[in-house]
Structure 1
Amino acid sequence: MATSSSSSVQQARQILADRLGEIRREAGLTGRELALRCGWHASKTSRIENARTPPSADDIRAWCRACGADGEAEDLTASLRAVEGMFVEWRRMERAGLRQAQEARLPLYERTRRFRSYSAWLVPGLIQTYAYTTAVLQAIQQRRGLVDDVSDAVAARMDRQRVLYESGRSFAFLVEESVLRSGVGGRDVMIGQLAHLITVGSLPTVSVGVVPMRADRARWPVEGFWIYDAAQVNVELVSGYLTLTQPREVAMYADTFAELAELAVYGAAARALITSAMDSHG
């Protein structure tokens, strides 16, 4: 199981570890006795119960069998799969190529009614142009040494953008001003992307805010994140892709989005910053 510093991931691991400890104690077994029945070293039992070593599905089944609690195994292995899904390393997510990684996210977008996105690095995928997406995904493919299915992955991301035009949805995008001035894909790609931001910002379902660069801002930039209704947050890290579903943490990201939204400018003021960035590229 991949490791992560996320409190959600660690808390979920600890809950699973605590439940395994309860099952052992309810069976009247010491850690050493359980280890003997399972055929492993006693230190492994301790590491699992203290959430230092994540159990495998086979470990959980052996644990429950040793405690006479086979009926618990199915639910606990389901909990294990949920924990494993919280943090996914990029190499795991993209080992079959970028196209599959793009297509896998489509159902989440399709069932989301209120979408919020903040980015300090790149223009968010839902409002990228074909050329900008191509530049981004080509760079990822080359940097990570992935199979070259960039054209198919770009097509999948472009197809996802149809949700912007469906009624009953709302999309709020926040980008740092530095995103407008980055050099993704070169001059022509950036100018085309910035022009597209102005166009897509006029859609009735879409809000585009720009957080201006200033020395006295009250809220610092943070990692890029996406909020899907009030159910889930995804965060892009250097090492992987984090999924948060714990209500407390989802609320923390919603509060952060609201704070950043207060710093942003919209409408004519946002268009002025975008146009200024276009001029700088020109």
Structure 2
Amino acid sequence: MQTRHGKAYVPGMMWATLQTDAYASVILRRVVTFLGVPDDVAAGVAKRMERQQVHYDGEHHYDVILDEQALYTNVGGPEVMRGQMERLLSDLDLSSLHLGILPTTTEVGVVPMPGFNMYDGQRVHYELVSSGVDVTDPDEVALHDRAFAALSSAASYGDAAGDLISKALAFWSKG
């Protein structure tokens, strides 16, 4: 990956670079089915898993905020979600990752917005249903950085984030 410092706000699902292979398989299968595109799920999952190596190379850093809802959006059922919560708990200690969870009931100093990714403070990317949009105007990028800061100041980090993830793990472990 070219980006050395990325930021991501992901309201309803797991950020791709934190997904387990099972979670990624479900997501990519849904994309193939919904869009009616050629089935390249196995290759897509392999590429997604390969990209995750940025967490271990010592050259990249990512600030990621997930809405608490992302911990409960059912992607693939309880088994997939348990594995995903376990993965998040193990990733909390990565030096390359600053993972925040935005609690559902927390007041945030910015209007609700769709998720976005920021790349080295130069570009903002939005994923749409079938394509993506890039924002590169410096004033717009600066506004997104301010929005991310507001989300970040409301998010829970460290042990507090771990508590929210553990609560979700307990939910998915009911049986």
Query: Which TM-score bucket, shorter chain as reference?
Result: over 0.9
Map 1:57-136 onto structure 2 (within 5 A). 110-136=1-27
Map 1:161-240 onto structure 2 (within 5 A). 161-214=52-105, 216-238=107-129, 240=131
- The change in CA–CA distance for 1:221 and 1:280 in structure 2 (over 3 A counts) is farther
**Which whole-Å CA distance do the structure 1 matches of 2:48 and 2:106 have between them?**
35
Give the counterpart letter for 1:241 in structure 2: G
Equivalent of 2:163 in 260, 272, 276: 272
- The change in CA–CA distance for 1:273 and 1:220 in structure 2 (over 3 A counts) is farther
**Which whole-Å CA distance do the structure 2 matches of 1:221 and 1:198 have between them?**
26
For these two proteins, the number of residue pairs brought into alignment is 173
**Which whole-Å CA distance do the structure 1 matches of 2:80 and 2:73 have between them?**
11
1:240 shift after superposition? 2.7
Identity rate, percent: 34
Based on CA coordinates, which of the two structures has the bigger radius of gyration? 1
Unpaired runs of 5+ in structure 2?
none
Query: Contact 1:223–1:236 at 8 Å: present in 2 too?
Result: no
**Which whole-Å CA distance do the structure 1 matches of 2:108 and 2:116 have between them?**
20
Deviations 1:242-275 (A, max 9, x none): 0111111111111111100001001111111111
TM normalised by structure 2 equals 0.94
Which consecutive aligned stretches of 4+ in structure 1 deviate over 4 angstroms post-superposition? Answer: none
- By relative contact order (CA 8 Å, sep 6+), the higher-ranking structure is 2
TM normalised by structure 1 equals 0.59
Kindly indicate which of the two structures has a greater share of residues assigned to helix.
Answer: 1
Aligned residue for 2:35?
144
**Which whole-Å CA distance do the structure 2 matches of 1:238 and 1:172 have between them?**
24
When the two chains are superposed, the root-mean-square deviation of aligned CA atoms in Å is: 1.3
Kindly indicate which of the two structures has a greater share of residues assigned to strand.
Answer: 2
Unpaired runs of 5+ in structure 1?
1-109
